[in-house]
Amino acid sequence: MPKSMGGLNLVDPLTVNMTYGAKLWWRWIKEPNLPWARYWKEKYTPDCNNQDIVRLQEVPEGSPIWNLACKNRSIVQENSFWEIHNGRFALFWEDAWQQLPKLDTPELSSLKLLNQNEGRYRVHHYWNQSNRDPNWREWISLNSGNNSDRNESTQQFNDILQRRKIRKTEEEDKLRWGMRGSGNFSLK
């Protein structure tokens, strides 16, 4: 309880524990060259590349600290997004990017499946490679098959996609914390 109500103004220990676990997961993703982060990578996820660590769903049991981080990884997964630059790390449908929600919705599942069957998974797979604009990326027009209902929803989706502006750059995509302007996870 707050001091004004006769309490000690202590923070809930479960909340603090969850926050520290999420912070460990975030640091593991963002600072992969730290000695303990390299150790975790080799021990728990040797076959996973650094960009896919943020998406891990199945994780092995391990040390108490590892288990704490794993238990609270959903906080990071739900509150982070990819800032798109070259489009090579972020998954087009499954990841949140540019501070916008994920595109993987039930209404778009057939469109997603059709495009993934054509080998399009990452954001850069959806760019028009012959784009002539020197500053902005241009999206390809997504296909929906022959169904007229799907054509209408595809057209609406293409319109939505045109509003997602991506500046042309060859920098790598960056994972950012969505709750802060700086893009960094803070315990404050």
How far apart (Å, rounded) are the C-alpha atoms in residues 157 and 82? 20
Percent of the chain with pLDDT over 70: 95
pLDDT greater than 90 at residue 24: yes
Burial of residue 40, with CB atoms counted within 10 A of its CB: 0-12 exposed, 13-18 middle, 19 or more buried: buried
pLDDT on residue 22: 96
Six token digits for residue 144: 């929906």
Q: Across 22-107, where does the E strand assignment appear?
A: 80-83
> CB-hemisphere CA count at 13 Å for 135?
1
pLDDT on residue 144: 55
Q: 130-160 as b/e, with b when 16 or more CB fall inside 10 Å?
A: eeeeeeebebeebebeeeeebeeebeebeee
Residue located via tokens 């912070």? 23
149: left (phi over 0), alpha (psi -120 to 50) or beta: alpha
Cα distance from N-terminal residue to C-terminal residue, the chain: 19
Are 44 and 36 a contacting pair, CB within 8 Å? no
pLDDT on residue 84: 94
Residues 6+ apart with CB under 8 A from 38: 32
pLDDT digits (tens, 9 = 90+) for 88-147: 999 999 999 988 888 888 888 888 888 888 888 999 999 988 878 889 999 987 765 555
